[in-house]
Structure 1
Amino acid sequence: MITRRHALLGLGALAGSPLAHPLLGQPAFGQTAKKGGTLKIAAPFNPSTLDPLTGGTGSDHMLLYPLFDTLVDFEPATLAARPGLATSWTFPDPKTLVFTLRENVRFHDGEPFDAAAVKAHLERAKTDPRSAVKSELQSIETIEVLAPNKVALHLSRPDTALPLILADRAGMIASPKAVAERGRRHDREPVGTGPFKLEKWNDNDVVTMVRNPDYWDKDLPHLDGLTFRIITDLNTALRSVIAGENQFTYRLNPQQKVVADRMGAGKVVVSSTPTIADYHLLFNYGKGPLDDVRVRQAINFALDRDGFNRAALMGLGVPAQTMLPPGYWAHDPALDNYYTHDPDKARALLKEAGHADGVDIQFFGYSDQASQQRHEIIMEQLRQAGIRAQMTVGSSADMYQRFIVRGEGDMLLALWTGRPDPSQAFALVYGANGFNNAGKVPPPPEMAQAQIEAQSVEDPAQRKVAFAKLEKAALEFALSGELAFVPAIEIHAPNVRGYVPNLLGKPKFNTLYLAD
């Protein structure tokens, strides 16, 4: 049997490598995808916003992808950059990035997509007080329209990560006219260029999208629409697909995979593939007691990552030390066992930090049943090292607001869903303006320098050297507590065709169709 670690190597090691998992449900040779029908999806999270620049949660992506094309796209298996709204790009010099744009593309409101629209979008992304992607675009000084289909980004420093950064939220181009006219309403009334347009969004109930009849790719979409029914209980979501009430669900836990394999045989298709997404503990080190590196190190030594993988993920995950998984091209394997499970070492560090009798921390997390089971595993591991975690739970949106925005609590268990370029993880989680840096504490100088180095060269071998520095600094300063990388588990009806999993574990529904 191939291990998940080996699978990750096959999926992410080299750009252009073949897909390591089968393309599920592709049309047979000589067949064409059927047109029409609405795909009914059981979605586990209500979106935080449908404006790509103002949201911060990875669970939004599944609803953003149908509405917004990205400037650059990525290969599902390797995350290598490929054309999107930009047909090509080049660095004529190290501090200039020029994009050639796809022509004859229009936004959902009929406005033309062109270089002026890209300029307006990126300037908003850099300057809007509500923008969640500012830290990713710091290298951009000015944006110049060279022609209606050509735009130049003039940089303060070389930044070879930008093309893939623009394959994420920052590159989801919204209509400048709609943004200007709707203001904050654009969060709920978004206008992109994607294959689907928003029809309605009822909070915690349903999000419906309809076909964009003027989409630039005349072969897409195959479907007439998408209906996302918000079902936060994963067991209920799974049952709804087995019963035929919905046709697709995602972000399931290994426990639901076991149920699907047993109860859904012949009724559903089960997809389980490796990802770069991992469970990790976010620390607020802007205040005590986690402003002391020894306390953060103690938490890391208290964690039994193998035990967490077995108990929480049924052994289907991969224990994590950093946000880059074993086997991934940018990861340094020398760091695989940096933090061992050592409660005695954890106690010694707490004593050295002035907590001889242990320490109390406020632990935030999500209120669903699976999350609470994960919390209990972590709390017991910490307890054995003298770390007493006081639990507070709520919805993901509420906990994000309280922990990240308002700075409450000391620690939050979250799922980091990964980004197309590995530099984004370090900028968004550890950067001074990163939306997952609750205390907004700047990273150590050596880490900031390594971040620049990782984005200054194109050669993967040179970038890997810089990423090794980033990983090591994050571990030395114990800026988070990484637990385990998770598989992407999706369940869909047999007549759902055209689905291709990706290394981010974030399903894209744009090419799906319903067979007879």
Structure 2
Amino acid sequence: MRSLRVAMGAVSVASALLLSGCGGGASTPGVAAGGPPQQGGEVVFTTSMEPRTLDPGVLGNVLATQSVVGNALYGQLFTSDEAALAIEPKMAESLESLDGVSWTLTLRAGLQFSDGTPLEADDVKFAWDRMKDPALGAIDTGFAATVARTEVVSPTELAFELVSPNMQFGQSIAASALNWVGKPEAIRSGPAEFDRNPIGAGPFVLEKWTRNGDMVLVRNEKYYDAPKPYLDKLTVRALIDTAQRMSTLLSGGSQLTVNDSSAESARAIDTGLVVHGSKTSGGNVLVLNNAAAPFDDIRARRAVAAGIDYAALGMVLNGEYGEPVNTLFTADSPFYDESKKLPAYDPAEAQRLLNELAADGKPLKFTIMSYSSTVSKRGAEAMQSQLSALDNIEVGVDVQDTAAVTARSVKGDFQASISGLMFSDPEPSLYRRYHSSSATGNIVEVVDPELDAALEAGRAATEVPARKAAYGKVQDRLISLVPQIFYTRNTANVLAAPAIGGVHIYGQGGIALDDLWLQRDDAA
């Protein structure tokens, strides 16, 4: 299979594309706009789903959920630098700790909410403390719960303590809703009023939001980092279908789109668009509920892992660009270890285990819960087809909307589910997914003291060799336990018209929207 490589910058191609509807101009096809950023212009950004609320504590901070909306309205305390395995300050000035437990977060002086009132440390305290409340239903409650105590030291300083040492806590902020701060008084006005008039300190403010339609955002004149944002207007439009997002981009109906398909990335390159993103470790996964039948029996988990033809599945999902996940980390990761192979396709072993389960009166029968997106459904149905060719196994598919999948996953109300676990730095993603104390993130329901200890060592260490040793043990336990099945590599990427500059992807697919700009022929 061909391997599709995307980078943090532009991908050059020779083919041409004539763009229409791009705010008045275009640049060299296939190459991202270069030179100094231009001020002004309007851009349409299509995403895969619409948020159910604009509450910053509830939004999900990954490209596949609502990071575009969150970063637009609330900005970011930090972004992350994948190459350096470090965080970069944005609205925050610094984050410091000597022991990984006691921390000081310092904000930039002079931050303002979009209504002109100051954003200060007590507003961050409100945001973080509030996210711990289970009644809020925050996706990132698990991240907030690791903060044991917060204390306002000054208008720009927040002191806080963690439940346990974590020298990588900045990664948790950058990758979660802890990165977003809304005005407390506006949030207290209630969900309906806040959705009508959300007040944050991000690069854009809400002009109007039509449910199941467009979210129109305009430039925040009080944004801290002038002359950013460069764009005058950003329209966010949710289109669930991957092909529809791509066709809208190709026709000039949008200038940016999130993408969940390597095949569409290849098509984008071939048609002169630009692919922005990073090759992440992990990938798309089949989550198995380890706490309930049938996957509380490790033989069932190993049977399914051995019964999937990963190469064929990759072809179904992404054509010649489908890439199986042979190791947890990609070869360019500092944590990569070629010897630590994930379970491979072995139909004979799968059938042996299925026969053994049937002989014990436990023939394998389960349902795969799938998102309603094209790629998710296709993956679930392809696995159903492959596994059904074996004896003593029956597989169903249950398609649900995003809210239902999320709610049922957190409650453990499923047997198997399509999901994803993509990351550059392993913290906080691996701890959140696999540590036994991660109440809302450990949807696989795995409880393993050796795995817990290795995850704790990985987040407490500061040097790469020590972290690599810890994550080597994590890989050993995942290979042995098979809590979930990685079935195809993925990329956190954004497809863009060549007229777009300043695309910066970080973390689990966050995008710094204040950097975006549009190359226009009519610019002064």
Q: 1:204 to 1:277 in 2, by over 3 A?
A: farther
2:521 aligned with 1:513: no
2:91 aligned with 1:85: yes
For the 8 Å contact 1:68–1:194, the answer to whether it is kept is yes
Structure 1: where are the runs of 5+ without partners? 12-18
Return the alpha-carbon distance in structure 2 between the equivalents of residues 157 and 507 of structure 1: 30
For the 8 Å contact 1:343–1:384, the answer to whether it is kept is no
Aligned pairs for 1:81-480 (under 5 A) are 81-129=87-135, 130-168=137-175, 169-182=177-190, 186=194, 190-261=198-269, 264-265=271-272, 268-271=273-276, 273-276=278-281, 278-321=283-326, 324-335=329-340, 337-354=341-358, 358-386=363-391, 387-401=393-407, 403-418=408-423, 421-431=425-435, 432-438=437-443, 441=445, 443-480=447-484
For the 8 Å contact 2:262–2:490, the answer to whether it is kept is no
Q: CA deviation at 1:361?
A: 0.6
For the 8 Å contact 2:73–2:204, the answer to whether it is kept is yes
Question: What's the TM-score, normalizing by structure 1?
Answer: 0.86
Structure 2: where are the runs of 5+ without partners? 13-30
2:80 aligned with 1:74: yes
Return the alpha-carbon distance in structure 2 between the equivalents of residues 209 and 77 of structure 1: 32
For the 8 Å contact 2:59–2:70, the answer to whether it is kept is no
Q: CA deviation at 1:2?
A: 11
Deviates more, 1:204-213 or 1:422-431: 422-431
What amino acid maps onto 1:397 in structure 2?
A: A
Q: 1:200 to 1:355 in 2, by over 3 A?
A: farther
Q: 1:271 to 1:126 in 2, by over 3 A?
A: closer
What amino acid maps onto 2:166 in structure 1?
A: D
Return the alpha-carbon distance in structure 1 between the equivalents of residues 53 and 331 of structure 2: 33
Return the alpha-carbon distance in structure 2 between the equivalents of residues 218 and 202 of structure 1: 29
Q: CA deviation at 1:254?
A: 3.3
SS in 1 for 2:216: strand
Q: 1:120 to 1:252 in 2, by over 3 A?
A: closer
For the 8 Å contact 1:161–1:421, the answer to whether it is kept is no
Offset from partner CA, 1:242-278 (integer Å, 9 cap, x none): 222222222152343454455x44xx44557523461
Q: 1:94 to 1:252 in 2, by over 3 A?
A: closer
Return the alpha-carbon distance in structure 2 between the equivalents of residues 57 and 144 of structure 1: 25
Q: 1:365 to 1:322 in 2, by over 3 A?
A: farther
For the 8 Å contact 2:300–2:353, the answer to whether it is kept is yes
Return the alpha-carbon distance in structure 1 between the equivalents of residues 156 and 509 of structure 2: 32
Question: What's the TM-score, normalizing by structure 2?
Answer: 0.85
Q: 1:443 to 1:69 in 2, by over 3 A?
A: farther
Return the alpha-carbon distance in structure 1 between the equivalents of residues 323 and 336 of structure 2: 14
Q: 1:49 to 1:99 in 2, by over 3 A?
A: same
For the 8 Å contact 1:241–1:247, the answer to whether it is kept is yes
Offset from partner CA, 1:216-266 (integer Å, 9 cap, x none): 00120011121012222222222222222222222152343454455x44x
Return the alpha-carbon distance in structure 1 between the equivalents of residues 314 and 129 of structure 2: 42
For the 8 Å contact 2:10–2:276, the answer to whether it is kept is no
What amino acid maps onto 1:377 in structure 2?
A: A
Q: CA deviation at 1:295?
A: 0.8
What amino acid maps onto 1:492 in structure 2?
A: A
What amino acid maps onto 2:311 in structure 1?
A: D
Return the alpha-carbon distance in structure 2 between the equivalents of residues 344 and 477 of structure 1: 20
Deviates more, 1:462-471 or 1:76-85: 76-85
What amino acid maps onto 1:116 in structure 2?
A: D
Return the alpha-carbon distance in structure 2 between the equivalents of residues 344 and 2 of structure 1: 28
Return the alpha-carbon distance in structure 2 between the equivalents of residues 99 and 105 of structure 1: 14
Deviates more, 1:488-497 or 1:82-91: 488-497
What amino acid maps onto 2:404 in structure 1?
A: D
Offset from partner CA, 1:165-200 (integer Å, 9 cap, x none): 111222222222222232576467543211011233
For the 8 Å contact 1:165–1:421, the answer to whether it is kept is no
Equivalent pairs, count: 495
Deviates more, 1:149-158 or 1:53-62: 53-62
Q: 1:170 to 1:363 in 2, by over 3 A?
A: same
Q: CA deviation at 1:132?
A: 2.8
Return the alpha-carbon distance in structure 2 between the equivalents of residues 64 and 241 of structure 1: 22
Could you say what the CA RMSD is over the residues aligned between the two structures, in angstroms?
A: 3.0
Return the alpha-carbon distance in structure 1 between the equivalents of residues 324 and 378 of structure 2: 18
Deviates more, 1:136-145 or 1:318-327: 318-327
Q: 1:96 to 1:407 in 2, by over 3 A?
A: closer
1:15 counterpart residue number: none
For the 8 Å contact 1:364–1:412, the answer to whether it is kept is yes
Q: 1:72 to 1:118 in 2, by over 3 A?
A: same
Return the alpha-carbon distance in structure 2 between the equivalents of residues 399 and 379 of structure 1: 18
SS in 2 for 1:173: coil
Return the alpha-carbon distance in structure 2 between the equivalents of residues 102 and 422 of structure 1: 28
